[in-house]
Structure formats: C-alpha cells, structure tokens
C-alpha cells in the first residue's frame, strides 16, 4: 500500500480540448506565415512579369516616373526620393521628441500626470490620417510659410580664410514635403513614446538605485543608465515608427501632392519646399487608373516589392543593432 504510485490522468475530454487548443494556436501561427508568404509571392510573380517588359536597370536608375502620360517611363528614383525625404525628416522630428516623452513618463511624471498624458497620446495616434493631411494642407503650410524665405548662414563672413556659405529655405508651395513630414512625424510620436516608455519602465530599479547611490542626478540616471539599458526596446520603437512613416499614404498624398521629382542639389532645403510623390501614393494612383491592365498594373507590384525590400533591409539592420546592444536582466 505504501509503495503504490498514483498517476494522475486527465479525462479524455480534457486531453481532446488541449489538443484542439494547440491546433488552433498552431493554425493561427501558420496563417500569419502563410499570409506573409502569399503576399511576397504575389508581389514577386507580378514583378517578374513587369521586368520582362521593362528593363531592371531602367527601373532602378531612371529619373522619370510617368507611367500614365506620354511615353511611359518607369524610373523609380523620384518615388524613392519622395519616400526617403518624408521618412528622414519625420524621423528627425518624432524620434527625439518621442524618446523625450518616454523618459518623462517613465522617470519624472507622477502617476496623476501619467494617467492624463498617456491617454492623450493614444488619442493622437487614433486620429484618421486623412485629417492629418488636410490639417497640413489648410493650416500647417500657411503657418510654416510665414517666415519664409529664410537664409541660414552656415559659414559666416567673419571667419578667416573660409568663404561665406549659407543656405536658403524658399517659400513653400501649396503641396510640399515639409508639411507632409511634420504631420507624419506627429503621427508616429505616440508609437515611439509608448513602446520606449514600456522599455524604460522594464529596466530594473536596482540599476537606478545603484546610480543614485553613487551620487548621480535624476537626469544622469535617466540618460546614462536607464536609456542605455533599454536600447533594445527603444530601437524596436524606432523601427516600427519609421516603418509606419515609410508606408503612410493618405496624409502624405494630400500634403505633398502627386508630382514625382528628383531631389535638387546642393541646397537640400529646396526639396522640402516642393511637392513630390512617395511610392505608396504612386501605387494608389495606379490602382485608381481607368486602364489598369498590362505593364501599368504590373508596375504597382514592382513598387510594392521595392517598398517591401526597403522596409526589410531596415528591419534586418535594426534587428542586428538590437541584438548587439540587448541587455538581459534576471
């Protein structure tokens, strides 16, 4: 009697339910993988067909995108230029501001302030993008245009030997990249601040207490201890925010227009005052065209694959950096 071992066994119906749950969860994971694979294959097949009729070299190096007027041209560089302009400028706005908000929420704000500010950021993230676009077109562009044109001295005349050098920000056109970049930057701030704040809050208090014990100020602890320790999560927020900026369509189309153009040099500020067209807006324009067959229709998939590759490269680089600086705590 004392040596008997009682083995607890589940009832048959419980085992079947667990098996069913496992199958359902596995199916969800496989569905995600299948959808992703299906999208990639659809883009790839149509893109291959497109490049049998349009030269890959012409597509990657062409400086004119006009698939629906005159002699059709399929040079993607003007669209890449428009996409990168909006992405870079909006990132310059959103990433530091979003991180600053995250540091404030995590390290400085009281619970009462946090309970008000976080819902406000979530409301900002929930505003439809079309509203951002019309806000940029009707209100933001006139406001930004008031002090323009503006000359910014880079190398003043009183410096010896070095010649004077300055850049001029011209007046804004009705459609311009600056307004589009600003509203996209505002749109992605909540994403940066929310994810970064979660990463900062996950840093163990023992690190903070150790830094305080060495006489560090709150600002030093926040910027030199907590932020480096949360680098992995902060980079993840940056990647998601930039991916959102790259894929934004409606707000950019309304504020920036639909006229693809190559960037002008050497005064890069001229590019912000002019309109342009990102890849996403060109895809929407093709989708709404009356004659969507043939090469024109296939070019939309080529643009989609181009956008996919751009985002994939950025995510791979970000993942490498994230793993390089990842911190693991017990």
The Cα–Cα gap between 226 and 220 comes to 9
Contact 50, 303 (CB under 8 A): no
Instruction: List beta partners, residue 144.
Output: none
Higher pLDDT, 294 or 89: 89
CB-based burial, 74-85: b 16+ in 10 Å, e otherwise:
bbbbbbbbbbeb
The Cα 175–Cα 273 span in angstroms is 8
Find out whether 156 and 145 touch, Cβ atoms under 8 Å. Answer: no
pLDDT in tens, 19-72: 889 999 999 999 999 998 998 898 899 899 899 888 889 898 888 888 877 678
Q: Give per-residue pLDDT as tens, 195-246.
A: 899 889 888 888 888 888 888 888 888 888 888 888 888 888 898 899 888 8
Residue 261's nearest CA partner among 83, 11, 42 is: 83
* Strand 150-155 relative to strand 165-169, pairing: antiparallel
Determine contact, residues 282/296, Cβ cutoff 8 Å.
no
Q: Confirm if 166 and 153 have CB atoms less than 8 A apart.
A: yes
- Strand partners of residue 248: none
For a pLDDT cut of 70, what percent of the chain falls above it? 90
Q: Which of the two residues, 103 and 294, has the higher pLDDT score?
A: 103
pTM of the model: 0.83
Host H or E run for residue 191: helix 177-201
Distance CA 295, CA 71 (A): 13
3-state helix, strand, coil in the chain (%, to 5): 70, 5, 25
The two structure tokens encoding residue 317: 């680089």
d(CA 93, CA 176): 17
- Cβ(59)–Cβ(302) below 8 Å: yes
* Cβ atoms < 10 Å from Cβ of 296: 16
Question: pLDDT tens digits for 140-166?
Answer: 999 988 888 877 777 666 666 666 667
Q: How many residues does the chain have?
A: 330
For the cut 70, the answer to whether the pLDDT of residue 97 exceeds it is yes
Distance CA 183, CA 127 (A): 11
């Amino acid at each position: 009697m004392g040596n008997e071992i009682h083995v607890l066994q589940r009832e048959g119906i419980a085992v079947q339910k667990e098996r069913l749950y496992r199958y359902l969860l596995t199916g969800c994971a496989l569905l995600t993988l299948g959808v992703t694979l299906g999208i990639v294959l659809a883009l790839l097949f149509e893109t291959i067909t497109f490049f049998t009729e349009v030269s890959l070299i012409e597509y990657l190096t062409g400086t004119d995108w006009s698939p629906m007027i005159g002699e059709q041209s399929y040079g993607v560089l003007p669209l890449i230029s428009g996409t990168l302009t909006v992405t870079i400028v909006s990132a310059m706005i959103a990433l530091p501001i979003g991180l600053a908000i995250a540091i404030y929420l995590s390290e400085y704000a009281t619970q009462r302030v946090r309970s008000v500010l976080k819902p406000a950021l979530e409301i900002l993230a929930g505003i439809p993008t079309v509203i951002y676009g019309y806000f940029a077109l009707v209100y933001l562009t006139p406001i930004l245009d008031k002090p323009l044109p503006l000359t910014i001295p880079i190398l003043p005349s009183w410096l010896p030997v070095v010649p004077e050098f300055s850049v001029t920000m011209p007046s804004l056109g009705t459609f311009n990249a600056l307004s589009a970049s600003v509203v996209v930057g505002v749109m992605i701030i909540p994403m940066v601040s929310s994810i970064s704040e979660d990463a900062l809050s996950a840093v163990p208090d023992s690190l903070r207490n150790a830094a305080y014990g060495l006489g560090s100020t709150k600002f030093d602890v926040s910027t030199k201890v907590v932020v480096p320790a949360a680098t992995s999560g902060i980079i993840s927020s940056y990647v998601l925010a930039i991916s959102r900026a790259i894929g934004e369509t409606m707000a950019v189309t309304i504020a920036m227009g639909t006229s693809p153009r190559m960037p002008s040099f050497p005064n890069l500020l001229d590019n912000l005052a002019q309109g342009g067209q990102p890849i996403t807006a060109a895809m929407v324009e093709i989708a709404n065209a009356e004659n969507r067959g043939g090469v024109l229709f296939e070019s939309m998939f080529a643009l989609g694959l181009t956008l996919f590759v751009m985002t994939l490269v950025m995510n791979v680089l970000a993942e490498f950096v994230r793993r390089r600086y990842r911190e693991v705590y017990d």
